[in-house]
Amino acid sequence: RRPVNLLPALAAKARMAAAKGDMAMVTNSGDLISDIVGFVSKVFPQNASGDLNLCPLTSKFCDICTFVCLVIAAFVHLNYEYAETRPAVGPKEDPWMKRFLQLTATLSMGGLLYELCIKATIKTMGLTKTYQDDLTLRNRLRLNMKMIIVFSILTTCYHCMAYDYQYVHKGWLAEYYGGHQIIYSVRYIEWTCCAPIVFSVCGHMSHAPDGTPRNGIIPSALLTGIYCIISWQGLVVKSWFAAWLCIGWAFFSYFVACVEQLYFVFYLKDMGRAGPLRAGLLFYLVVMVGIYGVVYLLPIPGWISATIENKFYCVFDASFKLGSSIMLIATYDISCNEEMRRSAVTTAKDLQRLIDTASVPIFGIDTDWCINQWNQKTCGITGLTQEQALGRPLMDVLHFAKTKEAEELIRKALRGDSVPYLETTITAEGDSPRFYRMMGPWAP
């Protein structure tokens, strides 16, 4: 026998296995990318500004400003140098600074645990599918996830600052004008990440008919985060022109974003009982961002100290997010209760209409055996109008030939037990006896 050379066959099998492995890696990579895209889409839903027709031109202008912010950020980063780093504020400069950072870190951790407890409670009680199936409740899950992300970033950044794992720059522009400013750069990272999510929480709307989530202020929310980048660059870049270019465009972008956000405030105030609360929260956020801008500028000419500026940020960074979280719960619970109440009223009216127009006589009693339901067919058969029957004891209005059996049937119905029918003669006031088959009475 001739010897068989197995090397080509083995090599072919190896190539096929490698190809399958590459395909598996590609498939896994594709799945990973899909998961990432799905996660991002949960945090940032589709824009609904155009659907609302509140201020579509401003929404487009927000997108343009966002693009310009990114261009300015890239231009400044590639063509200019940044100021030198320095140690964080120590006990000699301000003994309270570290405590303020630790306080904010602790408050942020409390907010994170609060949101995690809500998520854990929903999952532990087996309500996740119920929340997913109902569009109104599904929105609550999305907002809970957003606030978990916000508090995770806030907690991480402030714990890094509190325990001296940070990146602190000198304020070059403040030094240029004779002031003194200390730039905690990690804080600007937190603002860039959290500001769009917090504003999008205020802009959430009911789902589209196909179940897609909607949001009314995505363009301005995104712009709010992006102009934080050039705001940081304006303080640390070593160029007068580049600094004021960044600061000027950041403030211009703030006012552009305000237009869309304030339009949405006026839209929210008429959205049911929770509308004014949500409108107030969004208005508070818009005003607070403006106040941040004022405080941001004051150390440049030396009108306030650098430590006062950073303490201000510590206090209001936590209140900014905690207030949003608490107000979110309050407004969303009110919205859900209002929606359920409206749905219950509509259902009750439909049921009442069906009872009144039914082709069979229907009467109802309360726990005191007084008549509280008397439809049109019952009026026609007994000759008694609703005004004559409602509120009176049933046994005074209708007289049953089988009184004991009728009373037992009614007692079972009031207890919620299943009841058979009863064939008996019923005599109404001023009417001749008639034979009826009485089913279980309606006893709400």
Give tens-digit pLDDT for 197-219.
999 888 888 777 776 778 888 89
| pLDDT over 50 at 89, yes or no | yes
Say which residue, 307 or 31, is predicted with more confidence: 307
What does the block give as tokens for 348? 């009750």
Could you please report the per-residue DSSP string of 224-247? HHHHHHHHHHHHHBS-HHHHHHHH
The confidence score (pLDDT) of residue 421 equals 62
| pLDDT over 70 at 427, yes or no | no
Report the relative pairing of strands 46-47 and 214-215 from DSSP bridges.
Answer: parallel
**In 3-state terms, what secondary structure has residue 13?**
helix
| pLDDT over 80 at 420, yes or no | no
What structural domains does the chain harbor?
48-349 (1.20.1070.10), 363-438 (3.30.450.20)
Report the distance separating Cα 397 and Cα 73, nearest Å. Answer: 84
Report the distance separating Cα 289 and Cα 115, nearest Å. Answer: 24
The confidence score (pLDDT) of residue 2 equals 46
- The average pLDDT across 154-162 equals 92
- The average pLDDT across 115-140 equals 82
Q: Which phi-psi region, left, alpha or beta, contains residue 292 (left: φ > 0; alpha: ψ -120 to 50)?
A: alpha
Please report which confidence band the pLDDT of residue 443 belongs to, taking 50, 70 and 90 as the band edges. Answer: very low
**In 3-state terms, what secondary structure has residue 414?**
helix
Which of 270, 258, 54, 88 has the alpha carbon at shortest distance from 170? 88
Mean pLDDT estimate for the chain: 80
- The average pLDDT across 297-311 equals 91
What does the block give as tokens for 319? 């209140």
Say which residue, 387 or 67, is predicted with more confidence: 67
| pLDDT over 80 at 46, yes or no | no
Q: What's 82's DSSP letter?
A: B
* Region of poorest pLDDT, from 133-147, 310-324, 329-343, 380-394: 329-343
Triad 191, 34, 229: Cα angle to 5°: 20
Could you please report the per-residue DSSP string of 310-343? HHHHHHHHHHHHHHHHHHHHHHHHHHHHHHHHHH
The confidence score (pLDDT) of residue 15 equals 59
Please report which confidence band the pLDDT of residue 106 belongs to, taking 50, 70 and 90 as the band edges. Answer: very high
Q: Containing H/E element for 61? A: helix 56-79
Q: Decide if 70 contacts 226 (C-beta within 8 A).
A: yes
The confidence score (pLDDT) of residue 182 equals 92
C-alpha separations of 79 from 65, 75, 241, 350 in Å: 21, 6, 12, 70
Please report which confidence band the pLDDT of residue 34 belongs to, taking 50, 70 and 90 as the band edges. Answer: low
Q: Which phi-psi region, left, alpha or beta, contains residue 45 (left: φ > 0; alpha: ψ -120 to 50)?
A: beta
Which of 205, 225, 219 has the alpha carbon at shortest distance from 149? 225
- Tallying the residues shown for the chain, one arrives at 444
What does the block give as tokens for 253? 């972008």
pLDDT (tens digit per residue) in 398-419: 666 667 777 777 777 777 776 6
Q: What percent of the chain has pLDDT over 70?
A: 76
List phi, psi (to 5°) of 327: -65, -35
pLDDT (tens digit per residue) in 343-387: 778 888 888 888 888 877 787 878 777 888 888 887 877 777 888
Q: Decide if 149 contacts 42 (C-beta within 8 A).
A: no
